[in-house]
Amino acid sequence: MAVERTLSIIKPDAVAKNVIGEIIARFEKAGLRVVAAKMQQLSREQAEGFYAEHKERPFFKDLVDFMTSGPVVVQVLEGENAIVQNRELMGATNPKEAAPGTIRADFAESIDANAVHGSDSAASAEREVAYFFAAEEVCARS
Ligand code: RTP
Ligand code: MG
C-alpha cells in the first residue's frame, strides 16, 4: 500500500468543543502523522472555493455559513492508505449514521456541524492540500 497525504479539517463545532487534541489523537493512534497544520478563520471566499464542487447544492449556503462561523484547524495527514483511512476514522457524513467509535459518532452534532472534513479521493486530496499549503509548508515524516 502506498504512503498518501490527505487534507483534514477540524471544523468550527469541534474547535468550539475543545476536542482538537482528542481528534488528532485518533489520527495518531491509527498511524497517521500530521505533516502540516494551522488554525485559521476561513473567509467566505476561501470556504466557497474549497467546497466549490457543492456550489449548486441546496445546502451550500449553510455549509459556507457553518465553515466560517469560527476558527478551524487545517492539517495534512500522511500515512499508508491515508485518504481512505481518514474517511473511515471520520465516519459517515451524518453523525446519526456514523459507526460507533468514529469521530463523527463521538463528537458531531448534526449533518451540518459534523466535526471534521477529509479528502474523498486522491484527486481531491491533491487539490485540497495545495489549496491550503505551499509545498514547503508540508514536512515529510515517513
Ligand atoms: P466533508 O466534505 O466536509 O468531509 O464531508 P463529506 O465528504 O462527508 O460530505 P460532502 O457530500 O462532501 O458534503 C460536504 C458537507 O456538506 C454538508 N452536507 N449537508 N444537508 C445535506 O444534505 C448535506 N449534505 C452534505 C455536510 O456538513 C458535509 O460535511
Ligand atoms: Mg466531501
ipTM: 0.95
Nine-digit cell at 87? 474517511
User: How many residues does this entry show for the chain?
Assistant: 142
| pLDDT band at 16; cut points 50, 70, 90 | very high
Identify the burial level of 51 via C-beta atoms within 10 angstroms of its C-beta, where 0-12 means exposed, 13-18 middle and 19 or more buried: middle
Q: Residue 104 annotated as binding?
A: yes
Q: Residue 96 annotated as binding?
A: no
Residue 22's closest CA among 102, 131, 113? 102
Atom of ligand 1 nearest to the CA of 53: 12
Distance of CA 19 to the CA centre of its chain: 14
Mean pLDDT of 59-83: 98
Centre of ligand 1 to C-alpha 93, Å, is 6
Q: What is the pLDDT of residue 14?
A: 98
Which residues lie with the beta carbon below 6 Å from any ligand 1 atom?
Answer: 54, 59, 63, 93, 111-112, 114, 117-118, 120
| pLDDT band at 1; cut points 50, 70, 90 | confident
Strands (E), 1-136: 3-10, 33-40, 72-80, 116-118
Per-residue pLDDT of 73-125, as tens digits, reads 999 999 999 999 999 999 999 999 999 999 999 999 999 999 999 999 999 99
Please name the residue whose Cα sits nearest to atom 3 of ligand 1.
Answer: 117
